[in-house]
Amino acid sequence: MMNSPYERYRQTAVQTSPAQLLIMTYDGAIRFVKTALEGMEAHDNEKTNLFLGKAQTIIAELITTLDRSYEISKTLYSLYEYMNYLLIQANIKKTKEPAEEALQYLRDLKETWVQASRLAAANPTPSVGTAVNV
């Protein structure tokens, strides 16, 4: 029965590709950084701290789930570490510039995965789209 929240969740989980999950993860981090920036604008340090922390948690998860068998993983690891550093600096100094820089990297990475997902859908091959967070 599709009325159950659990059944809806299971159906959504089955229909969501690894690339879509990664894109959703980036969306979450982007949303959290934007909310933290709103907190900075309002001089709301609690909101700023909370949402920068949430974005850092997502970046930590991205680091943890990197498939290190790919050469590009080293570059992504360094970029994730740098984004984490930027968010820490934004939080310590309560300045927008480091958070805005991290936000731009997150947007660029998301767009890259959106494009890769479209290419994979247009040209399906057995190996494309099977690795999460290369």
Which stretch of DSSP H or E encloses residue 51? helix 45-64
Q: Is 80 exposed, middle or buried (0-12, 13-18, 19+ CB in 10 A)?
A: buried
36-48 pLDDT tens trace: 999 999 999 999 9
Domains and CATH numbers, the chain: 18-119 (1.20.120.340)
- pLDDT at position 120 is 81
Two tokens, residue 19: 């690339």
Q: Is the pTM of this model over 0.85?
A: no
pLDDT, tens digit, 9 for 90 and up, residues 8-26? 656 665 567 888 999 999 9
